[in-house]
Amino acid sequence: NSLTNLTITGDLHITGTTTEVDTQNLLVKDNIIVINDEESGVGVTAGAAGIEIHRGPGQDKATIMWNETSDKFEFKVGAQDAILVFDNVEPPDSSVGYDQVKINNLSDPGPGVNTFLESDGTGNFNLTEIQIGGITLDGSVTGPVDNNTLANYSVTSDHLQDFSVTSSKIDTTLSFVGKTIILNPADILSAINGAGYFNVSNPNFNVPDDCIDAAKIVDGSVTGFKLANTLNLASKTIQWPALQIFNHVQIDDYLTVNNITVINNTLSVTDKVTFTNQGGDDALTINNSSSANILKLQNNSVDVFVVDNSGDVSIKQNLIIDKILLEKSGTVIVNGTIATINLALGGHFVLELDGLTGDITELAISNIDLTPGVVTSFMLKVVQGPVDRTIAWSGISYIKWPDAMGDGSLSGLDAPIISSGNDKEDLFKFTTYDNGGSWYGQILGMDYSAPGPTVTVVTTTIPNTGNAVVQSNATGTAYLINTSVTPLYLESHITGAADNLWNSVAISSPNTNTNLAATGLIDGTYKAYSVNNAGTLSIPSINSVTLDTSAPIASATTSVITSSGIAVVQSTETGTVYLVNTAVTVTTLGSITGAANDQWNNVTIITANTDTNLAATGLADGTYNAYAMDELGNFSSTPSANSITIGAMAATGGTETTYGNYKVHTFTADGTFTVTDNTGVIDVIVVAGGGGGTGSGGTDGGGGGAGGVVVATGKSLGTQAYAITIGDGGTGVYNNPCNGNGDDSTFADIITKGGGGSGGYQNYSACTGGSGGGCPGKGPYAGDTNQLTSGSQGGGTGYGNVGGGNTTQFNVYCAGSGGGAGTKGYAAEVDGPNTSHGDNASPGGDGIENLFQTGSNQWYAGGGASGHTGGSITFESGGAGGGGNTLANGTANTGGGGGGGNTTTGGSGIVIIRYMFQ
């Protein structure tokens, strides 16, 4: 309840927790305000009582509180103490203020003057200035006088008592720098001469030059101990006796010897010894006539290099050679059929076979080092002569040749046959670890080039039931050997390989094609070799033969087609792919070719692993797999992982027509497309409604943009119903902002955007749509296309273009046509066919052609023509595909835009679906 005025003549008791008085001023006529009335405890039991003042939103409260704990009033703003201001308050009589201090000296001396404050005995104080110059000190001054400075020379000798400065009063160190001390010379000399001796401890004590001569030095008193550690004798001459014997000489830097120096024991050098030869003789000669070593170099008493008295050199640790180590080659001495290698001549030997009368039947080695643990190696180069010679490799105790066949053995193989042909060179290395008991032979290089046998092979791919065609220029044997077998420099290397890696044939007629059977060989690449009747192995053939016994693998792209359709297949090899009904059991190629003709078809594979079209012509409906056979007849009975279904798709909805093998469903209004049998693929075009045009009586006004278009081919559909929406054409609205867009059309996951309407005549920009509307008149912008940005192409291709007119410059007087699905719109003032007549109307942008409906191309989604911008009225045609002419509507079910120059309506959209039904 609300009361205007309320008077209470008695007491007013209000109970509760809060009493609110909502007035501007609260007037209290009582002379006492009691807070915390009827307190029942001692003091304020709540801890505090007072007044709280609210200072507005976000501001700290101001409080006047009695604090029971501190027994004081507290003035605060928030948690901080408040500042109290006192004005015109007289201090109490009991306080001491400036006026209570009576100063008789009315001329205040001010700061910086030393004063005493003294009482005059009547209750007043006087400030008395201290006069420093008037202070008189009587008697003794005891205690320290701090912070007082005595002026220089203020204490003179007159003020010091005689003998008052005793030795105890003198500091332990006195500085006489800048002072002159005068001593009595007679007293000092008497003290020195009277003393038996005196010491000079100061190391800097100087004795005058030449004051001590040789007569003053006692003979024999200068011993080695008295000499300095270093004596500079550079300008002195030392004369030695004719023969001076030094038991031990240590040279820290260098020693120059002009003639002969004999060192009987030890020469110790702390740095280095350098021999500089400036004459014609040897720089250093060590002539040893004893049984001891000629030279020994040690490191920490450990031998590292020793030359014994026989001249043998022992290197006890690693030998590092920065340069090339040059060795001379020795010549193998041939005596009849025996070739001898003398290891005393080095480690490299050349055996020349030119001029020999026969083969080498024995290879002897002499001067083998018999020191236990010594490893001996040498290399041998054999140079063939004009008459081929052989080496039996006998005479060496036992040669172990390495096994090139890969079984890990080091014995049991024939020794190599040296290359034939004049000047052909082979290089071998021999090593023994048991002082010649056994030698290990290693082939470092052999010359296999002609005039040894040569072999050729015809490059081809064959099964292991076929033949390789080979030739050799010499009678003997031809081999076909798998390239995994290496190296090959002996016939035994071929025949020692696994049986399924090589075959051979006898060559009875040189340079004649000879069949070499591939029976039993595994898949792989093979080279041909030949061996002549002398046992010489040829180099491998340049060409190769490929053995292929593996069947190819077929694959297919999953699809549903009719018997007039195409299956897409692949094979991993060239050959043939077969498309076979799954009702046929396939085990061999005969399983396929023996089936009914309507159960299989085939295609030749020209390029491996490449999509190839296989026609389904004549095949019965059903599920099919792919099988492959290569050109060698290797057939795979394993079917492709994917399958192909052959059978016509059946569907309902819209207006149904046919042409050729296609069935067509045309939708000009909303509806449903239902696949009733067999999933399959379709071709579809979806067109949205066109935008409306604007203008007035043919003057100004832009054309409407065409509806957006999507064209999809090979689109897969399942057996289900698909809703279809057909967009209506938009109608332009005179003198309004962007308006008149056509409606979207949809099918499955495809969305086409309605065409953009022209802007309100004359000053509003055109609308964005599937294709943009044209600029309507004075200065606004043309519409943009949004089919690719806002529509959904659903796996197909979207089409749309901008309307005609300005896109970057405002306030240019123009009228533009609508954009079409194929080309943009135009404005005569900016571009297009009428730019030479800038005030004329412009034709609409063209649409696109499509043949899905009848098999012949038809136009869709043309833009509407524009109005004119001055002079007499001109007319233009709409874009191909239903675009309206100037002042005309767009054609229904084409998605064409309405013409400009007046308020017009765009053409409605359409959806056309086709698929193969037979």
pLDDT tier at 412, thresholds 50, 70, 90 = very low
Q: How far apart are CA 238 and CA 232, in angstroms?
A: 12
| C-alpha dist (Å) from residue 914 to 269, 559, 752 | 109, 17, 18
pLDDT digits (tens, 9 = 90+) for 117-136: 666 666 666 666 665 554 55
Domain residue ranges in the chain: 48-81, 329-445, 455-547, 554-647, 654-918
Which ranges of 26-125 does DSSP label H, i.e. alpha helix?
Answer: none
Residues in contact with 271: Cβ distance below 8 Å, sequence separation at least 6, in sequence order: 251, 252, 253
When mean pLDDT is compared across 232-236, 412-416, 664-668, the lowest value belongs to: 412-416
The verdict on domain 455-547 having CATH code 2.60.40 is: yes
- Is 830 within 8 Å of 783 (Cβ atoms)? no
Span of 99-113, 326-340, 409-423, 510-524 with lowest mean pLDDT: 99-113
Confidence class for position 410, pLDDT limits 50, 70, 90 = very low
What is the mean predicted confidence (pLDDT) over 377-400? 81
Confidence of residue 98 (pLDDT cuts 50, 70, 90): very low
Instruction: Please tell me the predicted confidence (pLDDT) of residue 467.
Output: 92
From edge to edge, which strands make up the β-sheet containing 622-630? 559-561, 644-646, 622-630, 575-581, 600-605
Closest CA to 400 of 360, 429, 366: 429
User: Stretch 288-316: mean pLDDT, rounded?
Assistant: 79
Contacts of 548 (CB under 8 A, 6+ apart): 461, 462, 463, 523, 573, 630, 632, 634
Top-confidence residue, 279 or 775: 775
- Sign for the CA dihedral angle at 519, 521, 525, 529 comes to negative
Q: Does 863 score more than 90 pLDDT? A: yes
pLDDT digits (tens, 9 = 90+) for 489-507: 678 888 989 999 999 999 9
- Mean pLDDT over each residue of the chain, to the nearest integer: 83
Residue 845: the pLDDT is: 96
* 3-class DSSP state of 178: coil
State percent of the chain over pLDDT 90.
37
**The pLDDT value given to residue 97:** 47
What is d(CA 782, CA 202) in angstroms, rounded to the nearest whole number? 112
> What DSSP designation does 47 have?
S
Q: Fold identical between 455-547 and 554-647?
A: yes
Q: Rounded distance, CA 678 to CA 683, Å?
A: 16
The CA distance from 572 to 551, in Å, is 9
Q: How far apart, in Å, are the Cα atoms of 422 and each of 384, 425, 427, 748, 844?
A: 5, 9, 15, 85, 91
pLDDT tens digits, 60-78: 999 999 898 888 989 999 8
Q: What angle do CA 787, 793, 794 make, to 5 degrees?
A: 160
Give the Cα separation of 595 and 627 in Å (integer): 14
Per the DSSP assignment, residues forming a β-bridge with 502 are: 481
- 437-458 as b/e: b if 16+ CB within 10 A: eebbbebeebbbeeebbbbbbe
Q: Is 694 exposed, middle or buried (0-12, 13-18, 19+ CB in 10 A)?
A: buried
User: Rounded distance, CA 448 to CA 489, Å?
Assistant: 8
Kind of pairing, strands 622-630 and 554-556? unpaired
Torsion angle, alpha carbons of 359, 363, 366, 371, to 10? 170
SS3 381: strand
* Residue range 808-835, pLDDT digits in tens: 655 567 789 999 999 999 988 888 888 8
Q: In this model, does residue 711 exceed pLDDT 90?
A: yes
More confident residue, 355 or 91: 355
Cα distances from 132 to residues 137, 213, 472, 851, in angstroms, run: 12, 72, 141, 130
Tell me the pLDDT band of 894, cut-offs 50, 70 and 90.
very high
- Checking if the pLDDT of 196 tops 60, the result is no
pLDDT in tens, 329-366: 788 899 999 999 999 888 899 999 998 989 998 888 99
pLDDT over threshold 90, residue 461: no
DSSP alpha helix (H) spans, 52-172: none
Neighbouring C-beta atoms of residue 257, cutoff 10 Å = 7
Q: 156-165, 282-291, 405-414, 462-471 — which is least confidently predicted?
A: 405-414
Residues facing 683 on adjacent strands:
914
pLDDT computed for residue 801 by the predictor: 97
The answer to whether domain 554-647 has CATH 2.60.40 is yes
Lowest mean pLDDT among 289-293, 374-378, 466-470, 545-549: 289-293
Sign (positive or negative) of CA dihedral 160, 163, 164, 170: positive
pLDDT at 93 over 70: no
Out of 229-238, 243-252, 409-418, the most confident range is 229-238
Burial of 304 (0-12, 13-18, 19+ CB in 10 A): middle
Q: Write the Ramachandran bin of 6: left for phi over 0, alpha for psi from -120 to 50, otherwise beta.
A: beta
- Report whether pLDDT(206) > 80: no
Q: Look at 153-157, 573-577, 734-738, 886-890 and tell me which has the smallest mean pLDDT.
A: 153-157
Higher pLDDT: 252 or 52? It is: 52
Could you tell me the pLDDT band of residue 7, with boundaries at 50, 70 and 90? confident
Please report which helix (H) or strand (E) contains residue 212, including its range.
none
The per-residue pLDDT for 262 is 62
With a cut of 60, say whether residue 404 has pLDDT above it: no
Q: Which residue has the tokens 């340049």?
A: 542
Question: 641 pairs with which residues across the strands?
Answer: none
Secondary structure (DSSP) of 434-453: STTSSEEEEEEE----TTS-
What single-letter DSSP state applies at residue 414?
P
Torsion 760-762-765-770 (CA) sign: positive
Query: Once rounded to an integer, what is the mean pLDDT over residues 704-713?
Result: 97
**Residue 70, both tokens:** 């501190």
For 581-602, how does the pLDDT look when each residue is reduced to its tens digit (9 = 90+)? 999 999 999 999 999 999 999 9
Q: Is the pLDDT at 411 greater than 50, yes or no? A: no
**Residue 451: per-residue pLDDT:** 47
Which phi and psi (to 5°) does residue 764 adopt?
A: -115, 140
172-176, 691-695, 825-829: least confident range: 172-176
Q: Of 425, 534, 405, whose CA–CA distance to 477 is shortest? A: 534
User: pLDDT class for 641, splitting at 50, 70, 90?
Assistant: very high
d(CA 207, CA 376): 78
Residue pointed to by tokens 């967009």? 727
Judge whether 749 and 723 are in contact, CB under 8 Å.
Answer: no
Residue 832: its pLDDT value, please? Answer: 87
Q: What is the pLDDT of residue 835?
A: 82
- What does the alpha-carbon distance between residue 456 and residue 543 come to, in Å, rounded to a whole number? 7
pLDDT higher than threshold 50 for residue 897: yes
Residue bearing the bigger pLDDT, 384 or 323? 384
**Mean pLDDT of the region 375-384:** 92
By CB atoms closer than 10 A (0-12, 13-18, 19+), residue 837 is middle
Q: Rounded distance, CA 913 to CA 99, Å? A: 117
Question: Pairing mode, if any, of strands 910-916 and 662-667?
Answer: antiparallel
pLDDT at 409: 37
Bridge partners of residue 302, in order along the sequence:
299
Residue whose pair of structure tokens reads 């250093």 in the numeric block:
284
How confident is the model over 54-62, as a mean pLDDT? 88
Pick the closest to residue 631 from 600, 594, 606, 601 (CA basis).
606
Q: What is the pLDDT of residue 724?
A: 98
pLDDT of 408 reads 36
Over residues 394-406, the mean pLDDT reads 55
Q: Among 418-427, 564-573, 747-756, which stretch is predicted with the lowest mean pLDDT?
A: 418-427
Q: CA nearest 774: which of 729, 804, 735?
A: 804
Instruction: Please tell me the predicted confidence (pLDDT) of residue 764.
Output: 82
Taking the C-alpha atoms of 417, 422, 425 and 431 in order, what is their torsion angle to the nearest 10 degrees?
Answer: 50
Round the CA-based radius of gyration of the chain to a whole number and report it.
63
